[in-house]
Amino acid sequence: MNQIALGSEGFKIEDILQIADGAKVSLSEDEVFRKKLTASRDFLDHKLDQGDRVYGVTTGFGDSCTVNIEKDLLKQLPIHITRYHSCGMGDIFNKKETRAIQAVRLASLGKGFSAVSIELLDSITRQINADIQPRIPKEGSVGASGDLTPLAYMASTLIGEGKCFHQGELHETKELYEKLDLPSYELKPKEGLALMNGTAVMTALACLAYERAERLADFSCKITAMNLMAMRGNAFHFDEDLFVAKPHPGQMLAAKNIRDELQNYDCGQKDKRLQDRYSLRCAPHVIGVLYDMLPSFRSMIEVELNSANDNPLVIADKEKILHGGNFYGGHIAFVMDSMKNLVANIADLLDRQLALLVDPKFNDSLPANLSGSEGRNKVLNHGFKAVQISVSAWTAEALKLTMPASVFSRSTECHNQDKVSMGTIAARDCIRVLELSEQVLAANALASVQALDLRHKAGQLNPEHCSELIKNLMTEIRSFSDFLEEDRGLEEDMRTFLAKLDQGVFRV
């Protein structure tokens, strides 16, 4: 894979995704970029030599900012913040998520306002490139002062403490560094706070969520087209002129995507009902809202990604040390709360489509539950009956999680952090909603292929009436999921689908 260089231009979402998938990282040799980094660090050191008070450097943290730290203790202070914040709980972030977190923190510190040394940035890049990921529990951040607790684990591994993963195996960091002959990093004043006091976790998850949401929207158009064909519905619901009359760009894109999948389709029924049910007819209006919001989501995510979001900031060229609240994750919280709402709506759309598809009262003469069984054993077989129940469960759970996390601010840390973003909780919710919605997508994909095969077998749909896009997709799905004639467990088929979806196999 390409090597991603951090420099003056910063990162895009796609850069974070590549690093998350294994791309290596480097620091640009650009002179302006490196001078800015050095100047910020040098200016802070100069102020410390003068005896100036700087929050989190010569004082305690948070509400303890009134506590002064003696000069001979300054080097110990950043180690203490990494240790006492190592109190996370819950599941552990996976490798892809953790690499994204490392990359996002690197991007923020590389803006040159955090007064960290180039050696610290080198240490982060060395850790990423050596395939070392800190073991980070998911729970414990309120999203301001940023992701303190989860990022404490990243800081801990840099100084040779805590636990980390290397090539999938969990190690004591100190022992792994000795084994690999890697140096641990000695934090300079402010660097512990700089590593931890920011929005890297929520922003990393937002980058990953963005890609998955976009992919979900694209694939939902495919599934809608297949379900429409399976139920011998009306293609004119997606006529271009209909959407020109209500020209939301995302809605028009969704309709076009569905039209592209329906090339050559003819329902073959002169007396077909004029209007299909809403979950088919209004699919572009549901999927299109997500399409329309994706550019705004990208803009907010990438501004956050390329921001200096710790506290205080050191503006060397203006000789300022500014204490503020750039660690507040309100924009990412809003994006994640909004995205999970739109994604769950698509899950609900697909859930309704599947409910129609398996029900002989609504599926236009398809077998009940899409069972392919014939003969004497037909009465024993139940096809996709239980899958539809599971899809309803996944959809209900996704819908339940759409309550916005950002409105649940809590006052913490002696009321110093008395208004917080909850951005990381919103991001974790969004990732979970995406997981559930992708499961709905997987089940629906298998069911729609089954339904189309049943139509073909019954002579009710000419395979030539399927577009090349749909034929290719059906071939790919049938390569790992056979036609369902006799009942069998479909868990592994769905898991295989999800793995291929994550690998980008189905993208065209």
- Please tell me which residue, 273 or 456, carries the higher pLDDT value: 456
Residue (of 213, 222, 337, 240) closest to 283 by Cα position: 222
User: Can you tell me whether residue 417 is helix, strand or coil?
Assistant: strand
Q: What distance in Å separates the CA atoms of residue 152 and residue 196, rounded to the nearest whole number?
A: 6
- pLDDT tens for residues 250-283? 999 999 999 999 988 877 666 677 899 999 999 9
- Please tell me which residue, 71 or 306, carries the higher pLDDT value: 306
pTM: 0.96
Query: At residue 461, what are phi and psi to the nearest 5 degrees?
Result: -155, 120
pLDDT of residue 346: 98
pLDDT of residue 270: 65
| 320 within a domain of the structure (yes/no) | no
Instruction: Out of 173-177, 422-426, 433-437, 463-467, pick the least confident.
Output: 463-467
- pLDDT tens for residues 31-65? 999 999 999 999 999 999 898 888 878 887 877 77
Q: The domain spanning residue 166 has which CATH number?
A: 1.10.275.10
Is residue 169 domain-shared with residue 243, that is, in the same domain? no
What is the rounded average pLDDT of the residues 355-383? 94
- Dump the DSSP string for 465-491: GS-HHHHHHHHHHHTTS---SS----H
| 508 within a domain of the structure (yes/no) | no
The type of residue at 158 is L
Is residue 125 domain-shared with residue 212, that is, in the same domain? no
Q: What distance in Å separates the CA atoms of residue 468 and residue 476, rounded to the nearest whole number?
A: 12
Look at the block and give the residue holding tokens 């006799």.
486
| 47 within a domain of the structure (yes/no) | yes
The answer to whether the beta carbons of residues 450 and 366 sit under 8 Å apart is: no
Is residue 45 domain-shared with residue 127, that is, in the same domain? yes
Is residue 55 domain-shared with residue 81, that is, in the same domain? yes
Is residue 477 domain-shared with residue 344, that is, in the same domain? yes
What is the rounded average pLDDT of the residues 492-502? 96
% of residues, the chain, pLDDT over 90: 82
Q: What's the angle, vertex CA 143, arms to CA 335 and CA 131, rounded to 5?
A: 90
User: Is residue 459 pLDDT above 50, yes or no?
Assistant: yes
| 108 within a domain of the structure (yes/no) | yes
Is residue 193 domain-shared with residue 222, that is, in the same domain? no
- pLDDT tens for residues 157-216? 999 999 999 999 999 999 999 999 999 999 999 999 999 999 999 999 999 999 999 999
pLDDT of residue 128: 98
Of the candidates 55, 210, 291, 328, the residue annotated as catalytic is: 55
pLDDT of residue 271: 67
User: Which burial class, exposed, middle or buried, applies to 29 when counting CB atoms under 10 A from its CB (0-12, 13-18, 19+)?
Assistant: exposed
What is the rounded average pLDDT of the residues 484-496? 96
% of residues, the chain, pLDDT over 70: 98
User: Is residue 1 pLDDT above 60, yes or no?
Assistant: no
Is residue 190 domain-shared with residue 232, that is, in the same domain? no
Residue (of 284, 263, 115) closest to 189 by Cα position: 115
**Beta pairing, strands 132-134 & 163-166:** antiparallel
Q: What distance in Å separates the CA atoms of residue 387 and residue 443, rounded to the nearest whole number?
A: 7
The answer to whether the beta carbons of residues 436 and 444 sit under 8 Å apart is: no
What is the rounded average pLDDT of the residues 309-335? 94
User: Can you tell me whether residue 261 is helix, strand or coil?
Assistant: helix
Instruction: Indicate the residue among 169, 198, 227 that finishes a domain.
Output: 198
Cβ atoms < 10 Å from Cβ of 177:
20
Instruction: Indicate the residue among 198, 215, 239 that finishes a domain.
Output: 198
H or E element: which one contains 4?
strand 4-6
Is residue 237 domain-shared with residue 264, that is, in the same domain? yes
The range of the structural domain enclosing residue 119 comes to 4-198
Cα-to-chain-centroid distance, residue 439 = 15
Cβ atoms < 10 Å from Cβ of 59:
16
**pLDDT class of 508 with cuts at 50, 70, 90:** very low
Is residue 16 domain-shared with residue 84, that is, in the same domain? yes
H or E element: which one contains 380?
none
Provide CB contacts within 8 A for 103, sequence distance 6+.
Answer: 4, 11, 15, 16, 19, 20, 25, 128, 204
Q: In the beta sheet, which residues pair with residue 25? A: 4
Q: What distance in Å separates the CA atoms of residue 123 and residue 262, rounded to the nearest whole number?
A: 52
- Number of domains the chain is built from: 2
Q: What is the dihedral of CA 390, 395, 396, 401, to 10 degrees?
A: 130
Is residue 167 domain-shared with residue 102, that is, in the same domain? yes
- Dump the DSSP string for 135-191: --EEE---SSS-SHHHHHHHHHHHTT-SEEEETTEEEEHHHHHHHHT-PPP-PPTTH
| 319 within a domain of the structure (yes/no) | no
Residue 412 DSSP code:
B
The type of residue at 118 is I
| 348 within a domain of the structure (yes/no) | yes
Instruction: Indicate the residue among 198, 233, 255 that finishes a domain.
Output: 198
| 338 within a domain of the structure (yes/no) | yes
User: Is residue 446 pLDDT above 60, yes or no?
Assistant: yes
In this structure, what token pair is assigned to residue 492? 């592994």
- Whether 153 sits among the annotated catalytic residues: the reply is no
What is the rounded average pLDDT of the residues 54-82? 84
User: Is residue 413 pLDDT above 60, yes or no?
Assistant: yes
User: Is residue 317 pLDDT above 70, yes or no?
Assistant: yes
The answer to whether the beta carbons of residues 220 and 283 sit under 8 Å apart is: yes
Residue (of 384, 374, 358, 354) closest to 488 by Cα position: 384
Provide CB contacts within 8 A for 63, sequence distance 6+.
Answer: 413, 414, 415, 416
pLDDT of residue 221: 97
pLDDT of residue 268: 66
6 to each of 28, 37, 119, how far by Cα in Å? 6, 12, 14
Residue 134 DSSP code:
E
- pLDDT tens for residues 99-151? 999 999 999 999 999 999 999 999 999 999 999 999 999 999 999 888 999 99
Q: Where are the beta strands (DSSP E) in 33-157?
A: 89-92, 132-134, 137-139
Is residue 255 domain-shared with residue 132, that is, in the same domain? no
Q: The domain spanning residue 374 has which CATH number?
A: 1.20.200.10
What is the rounded average pLDDT of the residues 482-503? 96
